[in-house]
C-alpha cells in the first residue's frame, strides 16, 4: 500500500514533527536536573534539591555551609547557571559557582559572589587558575540586584579563550597565550562546583565587616544548569579531537567588545593587571600581552 502525503496536510502533525526535531537537536543543552547531574559533597543536609530536582538551595549557618559538584567532568564547553544570591545583610558570606580540576596543579575558572551589608552592592569576583597558579582576579559590582531574582552566569571555555558572561553580557576575557609561555587551562577536565560558605576574614571590606549570625541561615538558590560541553569519560572527550559547537571557536564580535568595555569602564572595581602595589617588579606577562585586560 502506498501513502501519498502531498495531499493530506495535517498542521498538528507538522507542528509535532517540528517540536520533536527541536528537542532532538537541543536535548544535550536542556536545563539540567540537580538530582541527576550533581552530588552533594558537604553541608550535612544544608544543600537541598526542590521541584523535582529543578531547584537547588545552599544554606549557611554558624556551624557549616554547603556545597555540590557535578557528576560529569568537562574539557571545554559552555556552562550556564542561574543564581539568586543571599538577600539582606550577607556580609562575610561567599556564594561560588566555578569549574575546577583536582590536585595542587589544578586548573580553575571562578565566579565568586562576595556578600555585603544591606544596600551595598554585591561584588562579582572572577579568577583563573592554570597549573595550580591563580592570582588573576578581576572584580565587578553587579549593575542589578542579584538577590531579587535569578540571573544567568555563563562560562565559555574553549582552546582560544575563557569568556565570563552575566545575562549574556561579557564581563571578562582571558586569552590563551601559551605561544608566549603563559600556561592556559586546556588539558585537565573539570567538574562544576557550587557552594555557600563563611569567609568573614576577607570577603567584605577585607574582613573588616563580620558575618551577622543573627541573620542566619543564609540561603542562595540555583536553577537552570546547562552544560553544552565536551564530557570527559574514560580518558576521552565526547567531542573527539575537535568540535563544531559554536562556542568552540567563540570570540567577541564588535558589539560584544563594546559591551565588555562598558562593563569594565563602569563596574570593574579591581583588576590585578593594574595593581602596581601588588606587582612592584612588573605586571604578570599576560597583562602586557592583553593590553592590561587579560
- CA–CA distance, 182 with 169 (Å, rounded to integer): 27
The phi and psi torsions of 27 (rounded to 5 degrees) equal -65, -25
Residue 148 in contact with residue 130, Cβ under 8 Å? no
Catalytic annotation present for 112: yes
Which residue shows C-alpha cell 597583562? 287
Secondary structure class of 152 (helix, strand, coil)? strand
Predicted pLDDT at 88: 93
In the structure, what pLDDT confidence band is assigned to residue 119 with cuts at 50, 70 and 90? Answer: confident
Task: Give mean pLDDT, residues 57-77.
Answer: 97
Task: pLDDT band for 104, please (50, 70, 90 cuts).
Answer: very high
- Is 71 strand, coil or helix? coil
Task: Compute φ and ψ for 257, nearest 5 degrees.
Answer: -65, -35
For 167, 177, 212, 259, 262, the CA distances from 171, given in Å and listed in that order, are 10, 19, 31, 8, 9
Domains and CATH numbers, the chain: 34-234+245-290 (2.60.120.200)
Looking at 73, 112, 200, 286, which residue is catalytic? 112
Q: What is the pLDDT of residue 234?
A: 93
Of 78, 74, 97, residue with least CA distance to 26: 78
Sequence-distant (6+) residues with CB within 8 A of 222 are: 34, 55, 56, 57, 58, 81, 82, 83, 84, 97, 194
State whether the Cα torsion 76-78-79-83 is positive or negative. Answer: positive
Name the catalytic one among 108, 137, 178, 286: 108
* pLDDT tens string 223-238: 999 999 999 999 999 9
| 137 part of the active site | no
Q: Averaged over 188-199, what is the pLDDT?
A: 96
146 compared with 32, residue with greater pLDDT? 146
User: Is it the case that residue 22 has pLDDT exceeding 50?
Assistant: no
83-96 mean pLDDT: 94
Residue 242 in this model has a pLDDT that exceeds 90: no
What pLDDT is recorded for position 5?
33
Split at pLDDT 50, 70, 90, the class of 118 is: confident
For residue 210, what is its C-alpha cell? 563580620
Instruction: Show the cell assigned to 209.
Output: 565587616
pLDDT more than 90, % of the chain? 78
pLDDT beyond 70 at 14: no
Q: ∠ CA(154), CA(188), CA(193), 5° rounding?
A: 45
Amino acid at each position: 500500500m502506498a501513502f501519498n502525503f502531498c495531499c493530506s496536510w495535517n498542521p498538528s502533525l507538522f507542528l509535532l514533527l517540528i517540536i520533536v526535531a527541536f528537542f532532538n537537536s537541543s536535548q544535550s543543552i536542556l536545563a539540567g536536573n540537580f538530582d541527576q547531574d550533581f552530588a552533594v559533597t558537604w553541608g550535612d543536609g544544608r544543600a537541598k534539591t526542590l521541584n523535582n530536582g529543578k531547584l537547588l538551595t545552599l544554606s549557611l549557618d554558624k556551624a557549616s555551609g554547603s556545597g555540590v559538584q557535578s557528576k560529569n567532568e568537562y574539557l571545554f564547553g559552555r556552562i550556564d547557571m542561574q543564581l539568586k544570591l543571599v538577600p539582606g545583610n550577607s556580609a562575610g558570606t561567599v556564594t561560588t559557582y566555578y569549574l575546577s580540576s583536582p590536585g595542587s596543579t589544578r586548573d580553575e575558572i571562578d565566579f565568586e559572589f562576595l556578600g555585603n551589608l544591606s544596600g551595598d552592592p554585591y561584588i562579582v569576583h572572577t579568577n583563573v587558575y592554570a597549573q595550580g597558579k591563580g592570582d588573576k582576579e578581576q572584580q565587578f559590582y553587579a549593575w542589578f540586584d542579584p538577590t531579587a531574582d535569578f540571573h544567568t552566569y555563563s562560562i565559555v571555555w574553549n582552546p582560544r579563550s575563557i569568556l565570563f558572561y552575566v545575562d549574556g553580557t561579557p564581563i571578562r576575557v582571558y586569552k590563551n597565550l601559551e605561544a608566549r609561555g603563559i600556561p592556559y587551562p586546556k588539558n585537565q577536565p573539570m567538574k562544576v562546583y557550587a557552594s555557600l560558605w563563611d569567609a568573614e576574614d576577607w570577603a567584605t571590606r577585607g574582613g573588616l565587616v563580620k558575618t551577622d549570625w543573627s541573620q542566619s541561615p543564609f540561603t542562595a538558590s540555583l536553577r537552570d544548569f546547562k552544560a553544552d560541553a565536551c564530557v570527559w569519560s574514560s580518558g576521552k572527550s565526547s567531542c573527539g579531537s575537535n568540535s563544531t559547537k559554536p562556542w568552540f571557536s567563540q570570540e567577541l564580535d564588535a558589539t560584544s567588545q563594546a559591551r565588555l568595555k562598558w562593563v569594565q569602564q563602569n563596574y570593574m572595581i579591581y583588576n590585578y593587571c593594574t595593581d602596581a602595589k601588588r606587582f612592584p617588579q612588573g605586571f604578570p606577562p599576560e597583562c602586557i600581552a592583553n593590553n592590561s585586560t587579560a
